[in-house]
Amino acid sequence: MNKIKLSPKIVFVISLIAFGALMRLLPHWPNFTPIAAMALFGGAQLGKKHLAFIIPLAALFLSDLVLGLHQWMIAVYVSFALVVVLGIWLKKSIKVGTVLMATLASSTLFFIITNFAMWIGAPYYSQDIYGLLECYTLALPFFLNGIMGDLFFSGIFFGSFYLVQQRYPALVRA
């Protein structure tokens, strides 16, 4: 039977992702959450692709069980999985600029996918181009909060990991 080896790096990365999931449960500004940062960081730092998907998705799901489930969750999870893919791409070149660009791309991807799903599934908007534009326009304040939250939490995740690696080189090799 194969055992998963929990290296110090994996333990630290899982701890940061768990921290992100817990942060979702605390009071916060609307959409100022670590959702995209959790997926991006997990994709970039968890060496095995299956772990890069399973661990952040499990953390998101466990926090969703506490927060409540809703009919647009598939759009959230699809966008979340696509952000993990961005993180896997990012792992080849983790620098301030690439993390910044990937974080902004993650926020935008999440905004486009989840609000499109809202437009399709909610009775609030007319099912034409005007309804779609209204849906995206009304969601702009949430998008801005999401960008700020994603930048903040990506900074915490990637920044703290970098700083800890400087102090504990074993995390670099793991």
Identify the CA nearest to 58 among candidates 18, 99, 11: 18
Per-residue pLDDT of the chain (174 residues; tens, 9 = 90+): 456 677 888 889 999 999 999 999 999 888 899 989 999 999 999 988 999 999 999 999 999 999 998 888 999 999 999 999 999 999 999 999 999 999 999 999 999 999 999 999 989 999 999 999 999 999 999 999 999 999 999 999 999 999 999 998 877 765
pLDDT reported for residue 171: 76
Ordered structural domains, the chain, with CATH: 8-173 (1.10.1760)
pLDDT reported for residue 142: 94
What does pTM read for this prediction? Answer: 0.90
